[in-house]
Each structure stands twice: as structure tokens, then as C-alpha cells.
């Protein structure tokens, strides 16, 4: 559309706005506006009172699901708007019966708009992202307001007039807006379907954990990919042109995004070969913890001290990974200690084994063993080996409990733990001086 047509359209829109404003200045229309403002003032005062009472009532709720509390909180924050809508509908019902229908027309329109605003406020709570939720709220408010005032066609014509042209392809603001709305709705639906599908797949006990993650990733890729391409189609974009674009993207991936592609491929390999899976306890370098989730680019590992490490999938493929629970949950731990040469080694071994068996987490079905591993400078050195099946509960704490059990057992049997002795000699001709401290 050329500038002359845009000016003409703006002139027609301005004329319609002036006509609408002149209609509002009529006496009974002004009365309706005043009545609506009075209803708004009453709604603000009563809404604040009801919000305080509802807040006190909500504090006493216990054991309710989070989604119920979230919706109650959303209603509590919008009580003023809800009360205003109720008052407007009540006023309209009374005026519609006692006076001419035209004298309550504006109140009816405003009641519909406010009611639609309330519905919009509750619907947008389904969107978790705050920025997207705010954008959606204002967009729906504008749409329902224009709809009830009959301004949809004029707004659509104006947005369609703002356009740019590339050869035979015309892209208007209206088409972009439609594409954003369609894509947003599709992405939201894809997210909801993906979440429900993921929950159902994870509940299926017949599928291995690694295959569950692989199926979930494939489903997510299919859903979000479909939403993206349908959004492009809604704009009128020719999808056959994506062939050249995909070729350029492939070249870019080959040169600039090697690590990203490597991590993606490594993630698929990990899910297929089942080398690690969510819930496994692994060690990678100095990192020891259990796997929370396997992503497309990284694995989330939580350690005993509460830190969460995001390990690239490529490191899990190329690096040396210790999987403490790959084929089974049995883990053998070793601790070293020494006793004096004067203690009977047969007694020491027996006492050490019995002490280890008193620790709760040490397996009784795979008994501990104790062996002499050497004769040190000041002690006979031993190794005590025992098994556990719960590495996710930590390794250092079970070792500490076994050491404490050894300490108590050695003390009860008068077995000594030697330590290096230091001898100080005063050479001939030296003077030893002592000084009292004040």
C-alpha cells in the first residue's frame, strides 16, 4: 500500500474515532460512564477487603496441591477486576429491566470487556515465562477490547497496510502478528503435549531409562519442529526455500559449531549404548555424583555437596568415566590402617572385620576382608575391604563410620595405632636454657 492509501486509511480511522467519542458525550452515555466509574470505586474498596480475608484463609490451607494454591493466588490478585465485572452485570440487569435498552448499552459492553479481561488473566497463568505471559496478556486485552468495540476490521486493515515486499513475496505486519500468535499457540501446545508425554514415558517400567530419554528427545524435536514450520507457513513463507538455507546452515555447523554438533551426536550415542543413564553414580575427574538428567548438549550431575555440574556429552564419550552403578549396585571400598608390631595380626584382622560388619551400610552378604599389605617403618599395614549397594548416599561418610568402628574396637581390645616418634638430643657442649613465661 502506498503512502496515499495509508493516509486515507488513517483519515477514515480518525473519523471513526471522532464519531465514537461524540457518541460518548451524549447525556445517558455520560451517565453510564459515571455509573461504571462508581462501580469501579466500590470494586476497589470491597476487593481490597476481600483480598485480605482470602489471604488469611489461604494461610490456613495445608496439604493442598501446588496447582490449587497457584490458582487461588491468581484469583486473589484479581478480585478487584472480578468484583467490578459482577457489579457491572448486576447494574446492567437492573437497568435493562427498568429503563430503555439503549440506556444500559455501554454498561453491557463494558461488562463483557471486563469479564473477558478476567478470563484472559486466568488463561495466561498457564504460561510460565513471565515476559511471554505479560506480552500475551496485553495482546489478548487489546484484542478483546477491539472485538467488543467493533474495531477488529479497522485494526486488521491498518496492520495489513504496513508491509514490505521482496519480489513476489509480501510481508505485512498483520501476517507477522498472525504468525507469532499461531507459533506461540503451537509452541505452548507442543510444550504441554511434550510434558504429558514425557511423564507417561517415564512412568513406563518396560522401557530402559536411556531409551526413555531418547524417545522423549525425539518427541520434543518432532513437536517443536512441527510448530516452527507451521508458524512459517502461516506467514506465507515458501518452505521450499529452506533447502538453500539448510545447506548454508550445514556448512556453518561444519565450521563454526563443531562442538555443539559433537555434543548433540554424543548425547544420542550415550542414549543408544546405555553406558550411563539418569540415576547412575559416576566419577569424572574430580567430580563425583549422580546423574539427574541427560540433555541434548550436556548431562546434569549433582554432587554430595549440592553442586550441579553440567558436563558436555562429548567429555562423557571421550573421557574416562567411572560408572559406579552401570551393571549392578555393588561398590567395594578400601580403607588402610596400621597397628603396632606388638599386636597380634590375627587378632587385628578378626577385630577389623567384626568392626566393619557393625556399620549399617556395610553388606553382610558379601563379608568384609582384611589383609596385611606391608611392614612399615613403625607399623604393620593393613587393608580392609567391604561392600555397599548405595553409593548415592555418599562414600566418605561410610568410610568415616568404619574408621570410627575400628577406633572403638581397637580401644576395647587394647590394639594400638602407632605414630612416628621424634627424639631430641642435646649435643655435648650445648647449653640448654629455659625461661619461665610471665
So what's the pLDDT on residue 382? 95
Evaluated on CA atoms 4, 9, 12, 14, the torsion sign reads negative
pTM of the model: 0.42
Q: How many whole angstroms from its chain centre is CA 45?
A: 38
pLDDT exceeds cutoff 70 at 19: no
Out of 233-237, 353-357, 389-393, give the one with best mean pLDDT.
Answer: 353-357
pLDDT above 80 for 42: yes
pLDDT at residue 6 in the model: 42
Q: How many residues does the chain have?
A: 438
Distances (CA, A) of 111 to 75, 277, 328: 18, 55, 66
Q: Report pLDDT for 253.
A: 57
pLDDT of residue 26: 66
pLDDT at 4 over 60: no
Q: What pLDDT is stored for residue 10 in this prediction?
A: 43
For the cut 60, the answer to whether the pLDDT of residue 147 exceeds it is yes
From 61-70, 116-125, 329-338, the region with the lowest mean pLDDT? 61-70
pLDDT digits (tens, 9 = 90+) for 216-268: 877 887 888 787 777 777 666 665 655 555 665 666 656 656 777 777 777 77
Question: Is 70 exceeded by the pLDDT of residue 27?
Answer: no
Mean pLDDT of 36-45: 85
Percent of the chain's residues with pLDDT above 70: 76
Residues 3-21, mean pLDDT to the nearest whole number: 48
**Of 49-63, 92-106, 182-196, the least confident:** 92-106
**What is the pLDDT confidence band of residue 123, given thresholds at 50, 70 and 90?**
confident
Q: What pLDDT is attached to residue 316?
A: 81
Of the candidates 286, 310, 307, 315, the residue with the CA atom closest to the CA atom of residue 299:
310
Torsional sign, CA 357, 361, 362, 364: positive
Q: What is the pLDDT of residue 96?
A: 74
Chain centroid to Cα 180, Å, comes to 24
In the structure grid, which three cell numbers stand for residue 392, read together? 548415592
Q: What percent of the chain has pLDDT over 90?
A: 14
Tens of pLDDT, residue by residue over 43-59, are 888 888 888 888 788 77
d(CA 342, CA 414): 11
Query: What's the mean per-residue pLDDT of the chain?
Result: 77
When pLDDT is cut at 50, 70 and 90, the band that residue 344 belongs to is: very high
3-state SS, the chain, equals CCHHHHHHHHHHHHHHHHHHHHHHCCHHHHHHHHHHHHHHHHHHHHHHHHHHHHHHHHHCCCCCCHHHHHHHHHHHHCHHHHHHHHHHHHHHHHHHHHCCHHHHHHHHHHHHHHHHHHHHHHHHHHCCCHHHHHHHHHHHHHHHHHHHHCCHHHHHHHHHHCEEEECCEEEEHHHHHHHHHHHHHHHHHHHHHHHHHHHHHHHCCCCCHHHHHHHHHHHHHHHHHHHHHHHHHHHCCCHHHHHHHHHHHHHHHHHHCHHHHHHHHHHHHHHHHCCCCCCCEEEECCEEEEEEEECCCEEEEEECCCCEEEEEHHHHHHCCCEECCCCCCCEEEEEEEEECCCCCHHHHHHHHHHHHHCCCCCCCCCCCEEEEEEECCCCEEEEEEEEECCHHHCCHHHHHHHHHHHHHHHHHCCCCCCCCCCCCCCCCCCCCCCCCCC
User: Where does the pLDDT of residue 85 fall: very low under 50, low under 70, confident under 90, or very high at 90 and above?
Assistant: confident
pLDDT of residue 413: 92
The pLDDT of 348-362, averaged and rounded, is 93
Amino acid at each position: 500500500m502506498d503512502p496515499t492509501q495509508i493516509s486515507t486509511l488513517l483519515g477514515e480511522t480518525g473519523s471513526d474515532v471522532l464519531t465514537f467519542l461524540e457518541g460518548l458525550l451524549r447525556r445517558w452515555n455520560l451517565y453510564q460512564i459515571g455509573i461504571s466509574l462508581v462501580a469501579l470505586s466500590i470494586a476497589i474498596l470491597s476487593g481490597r477487603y476481600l483480598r485480605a480475608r482470602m489471604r488469611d484463609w489461604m494461610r490456613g490451607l495445608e496439604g493442598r496441591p501446588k496447582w490449587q494454591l497457584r490458582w487461588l493466588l491468581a484469583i486473589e490478585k484479581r478480585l478487584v477486576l472480578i468484583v467490578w465485572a459482577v457489579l457491572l452485570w448486576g447494574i446492567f440487569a437492573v437497568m435493562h429491566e427498568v429503563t430503555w435498552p439503549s440506556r444500559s448499552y455501554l454498561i453491557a459492553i463494558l461488562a463483557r470487556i471486563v469479564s473477558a479481561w478476567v478470563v484472559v488473566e486466568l488463561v495466561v497463568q498457564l504460561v510460565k515465562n513471565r515476559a511471554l505471559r505479560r506480552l500475551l496478556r496485553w495482546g489478548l486485552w487489546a484484542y478483546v477490547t477491539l472485538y467488543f468495540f467493533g474495531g477488529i476490521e479497522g485494526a486488521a486493515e491498518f496492520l495489513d497496510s504496513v508491509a514490505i515486499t521482496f519480489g513476489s513475496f509480501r510481508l505485512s505486519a498483520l501476517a507477522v502478528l498472525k504468525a507469532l500468535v499461531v507459533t506461540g499457540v503451537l509452541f505452548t501446545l507442543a510444550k504441554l503435549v511434550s510434558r504429558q508425554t514425557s511423564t507417561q514415558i517415564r512412568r513406563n517400567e518396560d522401557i530402559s531409562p536411556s531409551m526413555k530419554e531418547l524417545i522423549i528427545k525425539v518427541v520434543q524435536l518432532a513437536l517443536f519442529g512441527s510448530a516452527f514450520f507451521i508458524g512459517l507457513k502461516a506467514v506465507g513463507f515458501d518452505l521450499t526455500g529452506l533447502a538453500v538455507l539448510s545447506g548454508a546452515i550445514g556448512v556453518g555447523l561444519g565450521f563454526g559449531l563443531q562442538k555443539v554438533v559433537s555434543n548433540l551426536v554424543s548425547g544420542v550415542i550415550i542414549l543408544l549404548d546405555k553406558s550411563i543413564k539418569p540415576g547412575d553414580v559416576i566419577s569424572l575427574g574430580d567430580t563425583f555424583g549422580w546423574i539427574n538428567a541427560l540433555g541434548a548438549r550436556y548431562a546434569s550431575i549433582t554432587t554430595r555437596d549440592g553442586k550441579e555440574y553440567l558436563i558436555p556429552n562429548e567429555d562423557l564419550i571421550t573421557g574416562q568415566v567411572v560408572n559406579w552403578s552401570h551393571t549392578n549396585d555393588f561398590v567395594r571400598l578400601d580403607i588402610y590402617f596400621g597397628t603396632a608390631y606388638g599386636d597380634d595380626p590375627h587378632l587385628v584382622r578378626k577385630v577389623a572385620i567384626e568392626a566393619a560388619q557393625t556399620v549399617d551400610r556395610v553388606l553382610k552378604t558379601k563379608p568384609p576382608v582384611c589383609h596385611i599389605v606391608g611392614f612399615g617403618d613403625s607399623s604393620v599395614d593393613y587393608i580392609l575391604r567391604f561392600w555397599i549397594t548405595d553409593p548415592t548416599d555418599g562414600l566418605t561418610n561410610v568410610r568415616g563410620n568404619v574408621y570410627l568402628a575400628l577406633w572403638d574396637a581397637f580401644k576395647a581390645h587394647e590394639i594400638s595405632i602407632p605414630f612416628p616418634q621424634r627424639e631430641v638430643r642435646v649435643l655435648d657442649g650445648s647449653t640448654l636454657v629455659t625461661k619461665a613465661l610471665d
